[in-house]
Structure 1
C-alpha cells in the first residue's frame, strides 16, 4: 500500500485535489478544523432551516469545470438558481442585466461538498498546527499535540494566511503564499415570520455597508417556511468593523438592508452573524497552485486564481496535476 498523501482542508480546493489523486490510485487523508467539509461553501443548520452563510452560488466558465458541473447536476447534487436579480447603486434599486448561469448545492450549498467527500477518509474537528518532515516522510501535529502520519506528500488547501503558518519547512514557498492577502466579510442571516414585501431575491450592492444579499427560499430545494435572508457586508465595512459585537453587526446591517429595500423591515424573528476572516482574496492571481515539488509540499485554494468556487476547484486540480507529474 502506498504511503498516503495528507490534504489539509476539505473545502472545494482540497476535495478537488483529493478526487484527482484518488482517481490516479493514490491514498489520501483529509484533515479539517471544522466539524464537516465545505470551507466557505459550508451552510448553517438552525431552527429556521439551512442557511448558506458563505458562498451563495457559483458560475462555470472553464470547460473542465463546466463538465464537472454538468455531472454534478446530473447526479442531483446541484441545481440552477434563477433569482429575480437586482443591483443597487447610490441608493437606487434596479434590475440587474447579469444573465450568467448560477448554480447552488441542493438542498444547501454544503450538500455538494458532502457528496464530493463521499467515502474519502477524513478527520474533522482537527486543527493542524505544524507540518514537519522526518527522515523520509511528512508528519502533522494538531492543536491537541497529537501526531498524524507518516505521509509521502502534503497538500495545504486552506486560506493563504493560515497556509503560511504550516509552511515553515519551505521558506520560499511560505514567502510566496504570504504575498496573497485576503479580505474579511461579515455575514448576517435574518429570518421573518411574515415575508417582506419585495420582489428582490438577490442583489449586488454598491455605496453601502452591504455588498450582497440573497433570499434563501428563492434557491432550489430550500424549505419554504420563514422568509430568510443572507446579507454580506462589503470587505471595506467588514475590515473597519472587524471586532464589532455580533449584535451591533446584525443591527447595522439590518438597517442598511431596510434602507436598500425601501420597505418595512421589522425586527427579525431570528438573526445570527458570522465573521469570515478570510472570505476572498484582495487581488486575483494566476498561480493555479504553488509547490515545492522536491520537498513534496503543494498549496492550493481559490486565492491562487479567481477567488471563486471555480477557482478553488481548478486550483485543486492543478495541485494534483503537479504532484502526479513529479511522482511519475
Structure 2
C-alpha cells in the first residue's frame, strides 16, 4: 500500500496537479493555510456581494488549457467576459483595440477552484512550515507543531518565496525558487450606491498608482446592488507602500481612480483593501515545474512559467506528469 501524496496549496496549480493524480487513482491529501481554496483566484465575500480581489480574468492560449477551459464552460464554471475595455495613458482614456477572449469564473472567480477541489481531502487553516524526509517517507509539520504523514511524495504549490523554505530537503530546487522575484499588488474594492456615469468596464492604466480597474457588474453572473469596482495598484507603487495602512491605501487609490475615470466619483458606500504580497512573478520562466523525482519532491506554480492563470494550471499538470512518470 503506497503512502498518499501531499499537496501544499489549493490555488490553481495545486488543484491542477491534484485532479490529474486523483484521476490516475492515487491518494492525495491537500493542505492550505487559508480558510478556503483559490489562492490568488480567491474571491472575497463582502457586504457588496462577492468580489474578485486577485486574478481578474484569464486567457487561454495553450491547446491543453483551451480544452480544459471548454470543459469548465460546459459545466458552467466559467463564462466569457467581454468588457468595454479602455487604456489610460498620460491622463487620456482611449478604447482598447485588444480583442482576445477573456474568461472569468461564474458566479465568482473562486468557483473554478471550488469545483476542481470537489470532494478531494483537504485541511484548511493549516500552515505547513516544514517538509522533512525520513528513511522512506515524508512528514509535514504545521505552525501548531502537529505532524502529518507519512507521504510518498510532496508537491509544493505555493508562491516561490513560501516554497523556498519548504524545499530545504532539496537545496538545488530551493535555490531555484529563491531566485524568483515576486511583485506585490494592493487591491481595493469600491462600491457606489448609484452607477458611475461611464461606459468603461475594464481599463489598463499606465503612469499612475493604478495599473488595472474593472467594473464588477460587467462580469457574467455577478449579482450586486452596488456599482462595485476593483482597482489594482501597480507593482512599483505597491512595493513603495507595502506597509501603508489600508484606510490610506483606499483613500489614495480612490483619488487616483476619481482623477482618471472622467466622470464624477462620489465617496464610496463601501470600500475594502487587500494586499497580495506575492501577486505575480516579476519575470517569466521555462521550468514548467521543479522536480527531484528520486526524492519525491516537486514544486509548481505560475512562477515556474508565465505568471498567468494558464501558467499555474500548466505547471500543476507538469508536476503531476513528472511524478506519474517516475512511478511507472
**TM-score of Structure 1 vs Structure 2, range by shorter chain:** over 0.9
- Alpha carbons 2:49, 2:224 under 8 Å: kept: no
Partner SS state of residue 164, structure 1: helix
Deviations 1:268-288 (A, max 9, x none): 111010000000001110110
CA distance in 2, matches of 1:279, 1:233: 11
Structure 1 residues 39-50: aligned runs within 5 Å: 39-50=39-50
Does residue 240 of the first structure (1) align with residue 270 of the second (2)? Answer: no
CA distance in 2, matches of 1:85, 1:264: 19
Partner of 2:60: 60
Partner of 2:310: 310
Cα deviation, residue 294, structure 1: 1.1
Cα deviation, residue 224, structure 1: 3.8
Partner of 2:148: 148
Long gaps (5+) in structure 2: none
Deviations 1:214-260 (A, max 9, x none): 00000000014100000000000000000111011000000110111
Partner of 1:187: 187
CA distance in 1, matches of 2:215, 2:6: 38
Partner of 1:100: 100
* TM-score using structure 2 length: 0.99
CA distance in 1, matches of 2:307, 2:98: 19
CA distance in 2, matches of 1:300, 1:6: 13
Partner of 1:11: 11
Deviations 1:181-211 (A, max 9, x none): 1000000000011111111100000010001
CA distance in 2, matches of 1:113, 1:292: 27
Partner of 1:87: 87
Partner of 1:256: 256
Partner of 1:109: 109
Partner SS state of residue 212, structure 1: strand
Partner of 1:293: 293
Does residue 213 of the first structure (1) align with residue 200 of the second (2)? Answer: no
CA distance in 2, matches of 1:167, 1:287: 16
Structure 1 runs (4+) deviating above 4 angstroms are none
CA distance in 1, matches of 2:229, 2:310: 24
Partner of 2:176: 176
Partner SS state of residue 162, structure 2: helix
Aligned residues: 328
Partner of 1:167: 167
Cα deviation, residue 172, structure 1: 1.0
Long gaps (5+) in structure 1: none
Partner of 1:278: 278
Partner of 2:25: 25
Deviations 1:164-187 (A, max 9, x none): 011111111100111111000000
Deviations 1:30-56 (A, max 9, x none): 000000100000000011100000000
- Alpha carbons 2:10, 2:37 under 8 Å: kept: yes
After the TM superposition, which of the residue ranges 259-268 and 303-312 deviates more from structure 2? Answer: 259-268
CA distance in 2, matches of 1:297, 1:308: 23
Cα deviation, residue 2, structure 1: 2.7
Cα deviation, residue 135, structure 1: 1.7
CA distance in 1, matches of 2:2, 2:296: 15
Cα deviation, residue 327, structure 1: 1.1
Partner of 1:199: 199
Does residue 137 of the first structure (1) align with residue 137 of the second (2)? Answer: yes
Partner SS state of residue 165, structure 1: helix
